Amino acid sequence: AQSVTQLGSHVSVSEGALVLLRCNYSSSVPPYLFWYVQYPNQGLQLLLKYTSAATLVKGINGFEAEFKKSETSFHLTKPSAHMSDAAEYFCAVIGSTSGTYKYIFGTGTRLKVLA
């Protein structure tokens, strides 16, 4: 069965500092991995996705993630944090059962950006 684990439920960074949000996955098949962001009182929005093409995936708002099979990781990074990046971030993997599929989400990491 597929699953994801997000290390650190809360991360604080200073404005302009590197953002690193960690995600490790478990999958018996080549995984499809995603990062979603949730701003307060809004639905989740897709940041980026990995579907077995390039291992370094670039997303919106300057975020990127690198798929590392040897480490079973898909960490999210951004070189320089902005105040507007403060939100909750969810890593997700596609899981499939009986011919259908579903997104399996991690527990989330709340990013705080300090002025």
Partner 1 sequence: GAGVSQSPRYKVAKRGQDVALRCDPISGHVSLFWYQQALGQGPEFLTYFQNEAQLDKSGLPSDRFFAERPEGSVSTLKIQRTQQEDSAVYLCASSQTGASREKLFFGSGTQLSVL
Please report whether residue 103 would count as binding partner 1 according to CB under 8 A: yes
Q: Which span sits near partner 1 by CB under 8 A: 17-25, 59-67, 72-80, 99-107?
A: 99-107
Please identify which residue in 87, 108, 111, 113 interacts with partner 1, judged by CB under 8 A: 108
Q: State the minimum distance, in angstroms, from the CB of residue 87 to partner 1.
A: 13
* Cβ pair 21, 48 in contact under 8 A: no
Closest distance of CB 82 from partner 1, Å: 23
Asked if 84 touches partner 1 (CB under 8 A), the answer is no
Which spans of this chain sit near partner 1 (rule: CB under 8 A)?
6, 9, 32, 36, 41-46, 49, 51, 90, 94, 96-108
